Amino acid sequence: MTATAALKAALEAEFAAVYLYGLIGGRASRGGKPAEIARINANYATHRTRRDQLLAFLGTDAPAPAVAYTPPVDPTTPKTRTACAQAVEVGCEAIYADLVAATTGSQRAFAIKALASVSTAAGELGQQAVAFPGLTL
């Protein structure tokens, strides 16, 4: 995979993550606990920041976001909101592992930091820790 293709895949994953965290947050605002809402807001902000960094890396080569994204789990209850958020983070692990492999320099440093961040977020959401997050061995 080329660096540009990997950057575009990461950007598409971040577009989806921002959209889905917006959906999760909207559902949580109707009765979610403050700790849950704070976690959702923090993850949403982190994904927005990474999306913006990827847009800067790609410049005019950046693809446009989709109109909507289908949640992997319908986030209607606290349990399903957590499952949806966890699925978003785990999905991003594979994308960022590919980005680490395809890039060098500042882009690789960004990808390594992003991979660590999504892996930490997935763990905080209940994902079991693995030795090499994002890789299928």
The pLDDT of residue 106 is 96
Residue 132 located in a structural domain: no
Residue 134 located in a structural domain: no
Residue 129 located in a structural domain: no
Residue 20 has pLDDT above 80, yes or no: yes
d(CA 113, CA 134): 13
- Structure tokens given for 79: 């349990």
Query: Which CATH number fits the domain that encloses residue 19?
Result: 1.20.1260.10
Give 14's contacts (C-beta < 8 A, 6+ positions apart).
47, 50, 51, 54, 92
Residue 115 located in a structural domain: yes
Residue 83 has pLDDT above 70, yes or no: yes
The predicted model scores a pTM of: 0.93
Number of C-beta neighbours around residue 22 at 10 A: 15
Residue 87 located in a structural domain: yes
Residue 136 located in a structural domain: no
> How many domains, the chain?
1
d(CA 64, CA 66): 7
Range of the domain at 26: 3-124
Residue 85 located in a structural domain: yes
- The mean pLDDT of the chain is 93
